[in-house]
Amino acid sequence: MPRVQQQHDTPPRGGGTPRSAIAAAAAECATGEGRSSSEDDGDAAWKAAIDSIASVGFSVPSSNGMAKAASSSNDEVNNHVDLEEPPLNANGNAVALTLCFRSASVTTAHYQEDSTSAAREVQSGVYRPFQGNVEVLNISLINGTIRELNPVSTHCYNSSSGSMEPSTWSFDASKTPYRFSDVQNKFTVIGCQTLAYITDNTDKSYQSGCVSMCQNVSDLMDGSCSGMGCCQTDIPKKMGFYNVSFDCGFDTSQISRLGLGSCSYAMLMEAEEFSFSTTYIINMTAFNDTNSERVPVVMDWAIRDGALSCELARRNETGTYACRNGNNKCVDSPNGPGYLCNCSGEYEGNPYLPNGCHDVDECKNSPCPSVGGVCHNTFRAYKCSCRAGRKLNKQNNTCDPNTTLITGVTIGFLVLVIFSSFGYMILQKRKLNQVKQEHFRQHGGIILFERMRSENGLAFTVFSEVELVKAIDSYDKSRIIGKGGHGTVYKGIVKGNVPIAIKRCALIDERQKKEFGQEMLILSQINHKNIVKLEGCCLEVEIPMLVCEFVPNGTLYELIHGKNQALQIPFSTLLRIAHEAAEGLSFLHSCEM
């Protein structure tokens, strides 16, 4: 069968492939760094950082070629893709391209002479990187992969010509650092009554195929790709070339009557990006319309400059071993000979640049509390703290209100209140003492003390207010033994359990205040069997209190006038009481005191 094959021309070559070209270019894209073309070409140590990623060129059939293919029902249009080594300029140096982009948009693009790569404006203000006619989706420095858009091969029935018209693609990356990923890609075929093949360039080393059949729309199921309307098969490792072809024995001219599309599709594509839909079978253009005739494919790249492994690369005496920087490690390529450089341990960054691997910033993942938390990155670790007023709860990873601070402030406030209260109490006590001293002075207490010092042996006691208040239980009503117009008499107990009678006077003549203490001293010297003895007094209160001996049998008034008491007392006793009272009064008014 005649084949129309258009192949991308290979640019002039010379001087060999530069050291780790693909790794260096991907490294720049990963770090967002680029170098200008004015840098010294003699910077041999890191010129690889700008040496190009191997250029990719898809040759698209010319209009004449397509017309020729369409003119004959038996002609197959075979489009060939060469993924070549980096092109070289007249001086033998690699043509460099650095494409750095985020979310498929180019943010920085640097080109050197003769580069066939460019950043194209796909929408107003939106630029994307292309190598030839191939759109580059992203490059992974760590995984050693590049994702790009791969053309779709088709096999369609042309009702006008009444024949099947295949349009297939082949892809050659065998002389580049790229290999098709056997882990992430699958050979995928969509259609009814179709058999597609995928082979290497010799048709001997590798041959595989996938057949897809269906008789009814009801047999199809969205998301299922197991041979009914869709099939997938794995590819081997180390694959750098593939060719797609369709078996001409499968004809879709009759299935359109069953409501099925008459087009079949075959492509090597990223498996995770594909989910079968029944519309791909019902509508013959639905798949290409959805994917714009391009599907993502993943290619593994590695440093393959004659090095089969990390061990062999380290032994190389030419100095081309790329993993020489500190804090990085060499990793053997999982897909064919070659190796990659990765940052080791707790490091991240660009292992292909001097000191490109740096400590991982754990704070990027926001490990600290989101509310009130502050992350501090440290070497191989991080520390969390909380803003003022909050305390870190490590168990729950939260910043809780700082109860310690609140407690401290509260305790401090309470201590301040307590000390203030003590200070106030001390001040009030001092004021009270001053008042008591003033009362003591006003009632002649000073004169009384002078007399007591001058007359030794006086059985007279000056009580404090505290002593007397304690003796009568703070003026407890149960302690009252007598009450009259001149005051109230309480029964009290002083030290030694000695009972006393305490008279709290109702009032005092202001004119007699100064002589009160002296008069009490004189009265205390009265010693008569019919007169109650005065034991002492209290002068530090506003109205002085008298302390007398306690008479246990009550008052004379109660004895004479108490209920039914007069009938029980003999007349002789009453007469004796009157006589003894008269003797006492006589003694008070005599000069025998």
Measured CA to CA, the distance from residue 292 to residue 289 in angstroms comes to 5
With beta carbons less than 8 A apart as the criterion, state whether 194 and 212 touch. yes
Q: CB 567: neighbour CB atoms within 10 A?
A: 6
Measured CA to CA, the distance from residue 70 to residue 77 in angstroms comes to 9
How sure is the predictor about 132, in pLDDT bands with cuts at 50, 70 and 90?
A: low
What pLDDT does residue 396 have? Answer: 80
Which of 29-43, 157-171, 263-277 has maximum average pLDDT?
A: 263-277
What pLDDT does residue 1 have? Answer: 27
Residue 307 has pLDDT above 60, yes or no: yes
Residue 125 has pLDDT above 50, yes or no: yes
Residue 186 has pLDDT above 80, yes or no: yes
Q: CB 145: neighbour CB atoms within 10 A?
A: 20
Q: What percent of the chain has pLDDT over 90?
A: 19
Over the chain, what is the mean pLDDT? 75
At 510-533, the pLDDT tens digits run 666 767 777 777 787 788 888 888
At 480-493, the pLDDT tens digits run 888 877 889 999 99
Residue 577 has pLDDT above 90, yes or no: no
What pLDDT does residue 391 have? Answer: 77
Q: CB 534: neighbour CB atoms within 10 A?
A: 20
How sure is the predictor about 67, in pLDDT bands with cuts at 50, 70 and 90?
A: very low
CA dihedral 172, 175, 177, 182 (to 10 degrees): 40
What pLDDT does residue 529 have? Answer: 85
Percentages helix, strand, coil for the chain (3-state, rounded to 5) are: 25, 30, 40
How sure is the predictor about 65, in pLDDT bands with cuts at 50, 70 and 90?
A: very low
DSSP 472: T
What pLDDT does residue 256 have? Answer: 72
What pLDDT does residue 312 have? Answer: 85
Half-sphere exposure of 557 (CA within 13 A, CB side): 4
DSSP 252: -
* Helix-helix angle 445-454:513-524, to 10 degrees: 30
Measured CA to CA, the distance from residue 39 to residue 33 in angstroms comes to 14
Measured CA to CA, the distance from residue 177 to residue 168 in angstroms comes to 24
At 390-447, the pLDDT tens digits run 777 877 888 877 777 677 788 888 999 999 998 988 988 888 888 888 888 888 888 7
Compare 275 and 447 and report the one with higher pLDDT. 275
Query: Is 483 assigned to a binding site?
Result: no
At 30-61, the pLDDT tens digits run 444 433 333 333 333 223 332 333 333 333 33
What pLDDT does residue 78 have? Answer: 65
Contacts of 470 by beta carbon, 8 Å cutoff, 6+ apart: none
Compare 19 and 189 and report the one with higher pLDDT. 189
Measured CA to CA, the distance from residue 322 to residue 313 in angstroms comes to 9
At 82-124, the pLDDT tens digits run 654 443 333 343 333 333 333 322 222 222 323 456 788 888 8
With beta carbons less than 8 A apart as the criterion, state whether 255 and 193 touch. yes
Contacts of 337 by beta carbon, 8 Å cutoff, 6+ apart: 302, 304, 307, 308, 309
Range in 7-21, 330-344, 559-573 the model is least confident about: 7-21
What pLDDT does residue 201 have? Answer: 79
Nearest to 277 by CA among 155, 265, 268: 265
Residues facing residue 187 across a β-bridge: 233, 268
Q: Left (φ > 0), alpha (ψ -120 to 50) or beta: where does 40 sit?
A: beta
Largest CA distance in the chain: 169
Residue 179 has pLDDT above 80, yes or no: yes
